[in-house]
Amino acid sequence: MATQMTSDDLVGIFRDTIVALVRRDGVDLSARQLGVFLTCYLNEGAHTVRGLAGQLNVSKPAITRALDRLSDLDLARRKVDPTDRRSVLVQRTTKGSAFLREIRNVMGEMIASGRNSTENAPRRPAAAG
């Protein structure tokens, strides 16, 4: 029988997932960038800067800055809407799909292990300084 998770369990899984992602080598996104990324990848349909700003209730410049970073990391790309050249569509990428799979895998591991596997997660090398 499946056990009902509490909000504390979910927050713990979220924390452990973020910690595991930070410790490994790879992409490190801000909360806003992660919110834009997940909205684009988990919500079906075409995404625009205006639409994302509305969904997330943040300004269009904030979405543009997040998309700049996601584009630099090849996690999303922009394309002019051929039906309305004033509008920019946000597209998924292969690298972004792989990153989403990685997030899902880490979360699955956290759930399967009872949330205690961040101690065994690969760590990033310490910064010299």
Give the gyration radius of the chain's Cα atoms. 17
Can you tell me which residue has the tokens 């490190």?
A: 28
Task: Give the predicted TM-score (pTM) of the model.
Answer: 0.80
Read off the tokens for 45. Answer: 């349909």
Report the pLDDT value the prediction gives residue 85, as an integer from 0 to 100. Answer: 84
Report the pLDDT value the prediction gives residue 2, as an integer from 0 to 100. Answer: 57
Residue numbers of the chain with a pLDDT score lower than 70: 1-3, 115-129
Q: Is 26 exposed, middle or buried (0-12, 13-18, 19+ CB in 10 A)?
A: exposed
Interval 21-44: pLDDT, tens: 888 887 889 999 999 999 999 999
Closest-CA residue to 118 (of 102, 129, 107, 104)? 107
Alpha-carbon distances, residue 88 vs 22, 25, 49, 77 (angstroms): 31, 31, 7, 10
Report the pLDDT value the prediction gives residue 6, as an integer from 0 to 100. Answer: 87
* Domains of the chain, CATH where assigned: 9-116 (1.10.10.10)
Q: From edge to edge, which strands make up the β-sheet containing 76-80?
A: 47-48, 88-92, 76-80
User: Are residues 48 and 34 in contact, defined by beta-carbon separation less than 8 angstroms?
Assistant: no
Report the pLDDT value the prediction gives residue 27, as an integer from 0 to 100. Answer: 80
Report the pLDDT value the prediction gives residue 123, as an integer from 0 to 100. Answer: 44
